[in-house]
Amino acid sequence: MFGNKLDKLFYADQHSLLSMESLKKASEVRAKLLNQELIEQPYELKMIMEDSTEKFFRLMTNVFRVDNKPVGFQHIARDYTQQIHMQDNLRFYLEHFTKAQEEERMRIAHELHDDTIQALVVLSRELDMLSLSKEGISEDKKIHLENLRQQTNNIMAGVRRLSQDLRPPILDRLGLWAALEWLASGLETRSSISVDLKKIGEDRRLSSEAELLFFRIVQEALNNVWKHSQATRAEVILELGNSEAKVIIKDNGKGFDIPYPADELTRRGKLGVAGMRERASLMDGRMSIESISGKGTTITIEAPV
């Protein structure tokens, strides 16, 4: 693993092998094991190679005793440097994929607003003028024109709603809280689900990236409540601390059995949940799901801000 001969490692100083953070971790592990305290294993250490490159190891450690006296440590180590690099590459890909996805959403939203909706507005006005004309149009045709105008207005409203869902202007203009109010209002309008909103902490804006990621997570969660939960009530809590933000989404729906491990949700086609986890990870955050059959679901997202 180290690329060294054993006789060279026998006399190596740990300060030359471990990063400062790992030295502190190793010291904590040593003290707890000698005091016969439990530690979480495996634990991770970053080690410095002779050529100054870094390697990452996962270790299991036990105290080796003779006559019940500690005389040394037994370490079982696994090099997982390649996995770390793969995770970093995946994170880089997800970050740029999410950014590209949002840019494409914004482009499509602008085209719908500037082109499609405006064309439908013109068409609706022309149909309105025809239906009001008194020359050469029978009453039946006027009624038909009025129906066409109404259908055009309905299509226009649907396209406008789609444009706002793709990239709600309120998020950029007024921030996360206003966008959450808009989401809640939209869900109540198109369903029988009542949504309670609660804000804890100081009223302030987050970074545009954090607000967008939190918004997308809540949007996906509320869509799942609407489509799958059979809930009658949902609650969204936004908690803004000095160094961390938290969002909690609860519902009183039918709930579901959470598989173990949680990655099994992705294999079962629950891609929305996977997307929520990925967005949380892009903020260096964490997401947890609690669900009891017949008693609803709670999703919690915490991230440093």
Q: What is the pLDDT of residues 283-295, one digit of tens each?
A: 889 999 998 888 8
How high is the pLDDT of residue 222? 93
Q: Rounded distance, CA 205 to CA 239, Å?
A: 12
Rg (CA), the chain: 29
Which tens digits make up the pLDDT trace of 161-174? Answer: 888 777 788 888 89
How high is the pLDDT of residue 260? 59
How high is the pLDDT of residue 271? 64
Name 235's Cβ contacts closer than 8 Å, sequence gap at least 6: 195, 196, 197, 198, 248, 249, 250, 251
Burial call 47-57: b when 16+ CB within 10 Å, e when fewer: beeeeeeebbb
Order the strands of the 43-48 sheet from edge to edge.
Answer: 43-48, 54-66, 69-79
pLDDT exceeding 90 applies to what percent of the chain?
Answer: 27
Higher pLDDT, 50 or 157: 157
For the chain, report the end-to-end CA distance as a whole number of angstroms. 38
How high is the pLDDT of residue 104? 84
Q: Rounded distance, CA 48 to CA 22, Å?
A: 10
Which tens digits make up the pLDDT trace of 39-85? Answer: 888 999 988 877 778 889 999 999 999 988 999 999 999 998 888 88
Name 258's Cβ contacts closer than 8 Å, sequence gap at least 6: 265, 289, 290, 291
Indicate the average pLDDT of the chain: 85
Q: Rounded distance, CA 63 to CA 75, Å?
A: 9
Q: What is the pLDDT confidence band of residue 265, given thresholds at 50, 70 and 90?
A: low
User: Is pLDDT at 262 greater than 60 in this prediction?
Assistant: no
Q: Residue 110's beta-bridge partner residues?
A: none
Which tens digits make up the pLDDT trace of 107-141? Answer: 887 788 788 888 888 888 888 887 777 666 777 88
Q: What is the pLDDT confidence band of residue 264, given thresholds at 50, 70 and 90?
A: low
Which tens digits make up the pLDDT trace of 189-211? Answer: 888 899 999 999 888 888 888 89
